[in-house]
Amino acid sequence: MRLGAFLYPTGYHVAAWRHPEVPADAGVDIGHYAELARTAERGKLDFLFLPDSSAMRGGDTAELSRTAIRYVAQFEPLTLLGALAGVTERIGLTATISATYNEPYHSARMLASLDHISRGRAGWNLVTSQNPYEAYNFGLPEHPEHGVRYARAQEFAQVVKGLWDTWSDDAWVRDKAAGRFFDPAGVRPLDHHGEHFSVRGPLNMPRCPQGHPVTLQAGSSDTGRDLAAATADVVFTAQHSREQALAFTEDVRARAEKLGRDPEGVKVLAGVFPFVGRTRAEAEEKVERLQDLIDPQVGLGLLSSELGHADLDGSDLDGPLPDIPVSNSGRSRRDLLVRMAREEGLTVRQLYKRVAGSRGHWQVVGTPESVADELADWFHSGAVDGFIVMPPYLPGGLEDFVDLVVPELRRRGLFRTEYTGTTLRDHLGLARPGR
């Protein structure tokens, strides 16, 4: 089983930053991240995963000021991973990079640099940016359209990987006596001329330890799956049921095969949002503790956007959901939530609590044994190759997973007790592309 650790600074739950055991300045506390990295490495996890955005996500400052999950305050991931490379030895280090707002030459170079610095532990999560507010920080009047972003991302990945392939593995002879630093036969330019990029290359850096740092991808639309099938070593997906996960995995693998790739070279990992306690009651207490910290204004804001930006101002939090008009931003999610509220007789507060917690990812609550049961079930069914663990709050949620669930997975022979390789490709069972 493959396991990654998703590190949103204070944790994935919307109210994590208010938890008494969570450092509220986690996003800019290097000591906090060093501790998380060491904890994940102690658990022999495959990699750390850093989500990212190059702008605060939202336009209403008053609303943003009440939440820590809108990319308001966190390290830039590549500089952070440079630092974490120095405090870890084996764990993989992966950073989210947006193809929409970056230059492929810089990204290829920084990732190759990180791969050298970490001696083969670098990876990247290639995204097209879910946050439209990034556009304004890069001189664009608006976020490019979905299809344009994905077309650019396809070309971006092609250029980045092409640059990594500009040097052969044996080009660097460094022959002091002959005065030959590298062998000219081992280098070729890229000479890419595409719709979005023109990049001559070569990369001004020797081929990196992994050949190619590991590529993760998280698109789930049709176009997104095509990008994953074409470019990804690892696909990160949000799924709610084993059956849906299995269908997703089969679909992505089939697309990869159609492109001539070995489907086994595409690992699928599902996000899991776990609450673990020594007893089930303890685990549920952990859920409630966080749920109770959700700021009504933040909860209402989240619920409103899920309901198609419905106006919920002034509604009674402990009364029933008022009538929600149909908006033009899609009605399936609105209908589902309205029906759920009506059928279960949920109050507004109860409904936003449902929405605010896992935000689309699979929530599991229980004992180490029951959580391991659920993970094992998905894994054994072939639905996924593993999980990206999204601790609700940090560092506690990660410690719970590493200290309680991982030993249980080991007892079942599902997870490593020691790293057997040195690179992230080794950990994931991915071949190293040579040249």
Binding residues for FMN: 52, 96, 146, 150, 220-221
Q: Is 11 in the site for a second copy (CB under 8 A)?
A: no
Structure tokens, 323: 């009538």
Chain residues 253-292 in contact with ligand FMN, contact rule CB under 6 A? 271
Number of residues that bind a second copy (CB under 8 A): 75
Q: Using CB under 8 A, pick the residue from 35, 183, 257, 284 that binds a second copy.
A: 183
Give Cα separations from 352 to 214, 229, 306, 396 (angstroms).
37, 35, 9, 24
Question: Closest distance between a second copy and the C-beta of residue 261, in Å?
Answer: 28
Q: Contacts with a second copy in 55-94 (CB under 8 A)?
A: 55-56, 61-62, 64-68, 71-76, 78-87
Q: Does 22 sit near ligand FMN (CB under 6 A)?
A: no
Is the bond leading into 23 cis (omega within 30 degrees of zero)?
A: no
Give how many residues touch ligand FMN by CB under 6 A: 22
Is residue 109 involved in binding a second copy (CB under 8 A)? yes
Distance of alpha carbon 424 from alpha carbon 232, whole angstroms: 14
Residues 6+ positions from 195 with CB-CB distance below 8 Å: 151, 155
Answer yes or no whether residue 9 interacts with ligand FMN by CB under 6 A. Answer: no
Q: Residue from 36, 160, 199, 337 that binds a second copy (CB under 8 A)?
A: 199
Other C-beta atoms within 10 Å of 251: how many? Answer: 15
The residues, ordered by sequence, that sit 6+ positions from 271 with a Cβ below 8 Å of its Cβ are: 6, 236, 237, 238, 239, 361, 362, 387, 388, 390
Provide DSSP, 153-215: HHHHHHHHHHHHTSB-TT----BTTTTBSS-GGGB----EE-SS-EE----SSPPBTTBSPEE
**Which C-beta is closer to a second copy: that of 47 or that of 71?**
71
Residues in a beta bridge with 208: 211
Of residues 15-34, those binding a second copy (CB under 8 A): 17-18, 20, 24-25, 27-28, 30, 34
CB of 271 to ligand FMN, least distance (A): 5
Residue 129 binds which one of a second copy, ligand FMN, none, with CB within 5 to 8 A depending on kind?
Answer: ligand FMN
Q: Which is nearer to ligand FMN, 149 or 427 (CB)?
A: 149
Could you say whether residue 110 binds a second copy (CB under 8 A)? yes
- How are beta strands 198-199 and 192-193 bridged, if at all? antiparallel
Nearer to a second copy, 49 or 101 (CB): 101
- 52 is a site residue for ligand FMN (CB under 6 A): yes
With binding defined as CB under 8 A, does residue 35 bind a second copy?
A: no
Q: Which of residues 220-249 bind ligand FMN (CB under 6 A)?
A: 220-221, 223-224, 236, 238
| Angle (deg, nearest 10), helices 348-356 and 296-306 | 80
- Is residue 332 near ligand FMN by the rule CB under 6 A? yes
**Residue where the block lists tokens 């492109």:** 259
In DSSP terms, which residues pair with 248 in a beta bridge? none
Which of ligand FMN, a second copy, none does residue 210 bind (CB under 5 to 8 Å by kind)?
Answer: none
**DSSP readout, 110-168?**
HHHHHHHHTTS-EEEEEE--S-GGGGGGGT-SSPPPHHHHHHHHHHHHHHHHHHHTSB-
**Using rule CB under 8 A, residue 216 touches a second copy:** no
| CB atoms inside a 10 Å sphere around CB 308 | 17
Helix or strand holding residue 249 (H, E)? helix 242-258
Tell whether residue 162 is a contact of ligand FMN (CB under 6 A): no
Of residues 126-155, those binding a second copy (CB under 8 A): 136-139
The verdict on 33 binding ligand FMN (CB under 6 A) reads no
CB of 321 to a second copy, least distance (A): 23
Residue nearest to ligand FMN (CB): 224
User: Phi and psi dihedrals of 371, rounded to 5?
Assistant: -65, -45
274 binds, among ligand FMN, a second copy, none (CB under 5 to 8 A by kind): none
Determine if 67 is a binding residue for ligand FMN (CB under 6 A): no
Annotate 311-371 with DSSP letters as a single string: --TT--TTSBPPP----SS-SHHHHHHHHHHHHHT-BHHHHHHHHHTTTTSEEEEE-HHHH
* Residue 86 binding result from a second copy, ligand FMN, none, given CB thresholds of 5 to 8 Å by partner type: a second copy
96 is an interface residue for ligand FMN by CB under 6 A: yes
Identify which range of 80-88, 181-189, 215-223, 344-352 contacts ligand FMN by CB under 6 A. Answer: 215-223
User: Rounded distance, CA 359 to CA 401, Å?
Assistant: 20
Q: Which residues are near ligand FMN by CB under 6 A? A: 51-53, 96, 98, 127-131, 218-221, 223-224, 236, 238, 271, 330-332
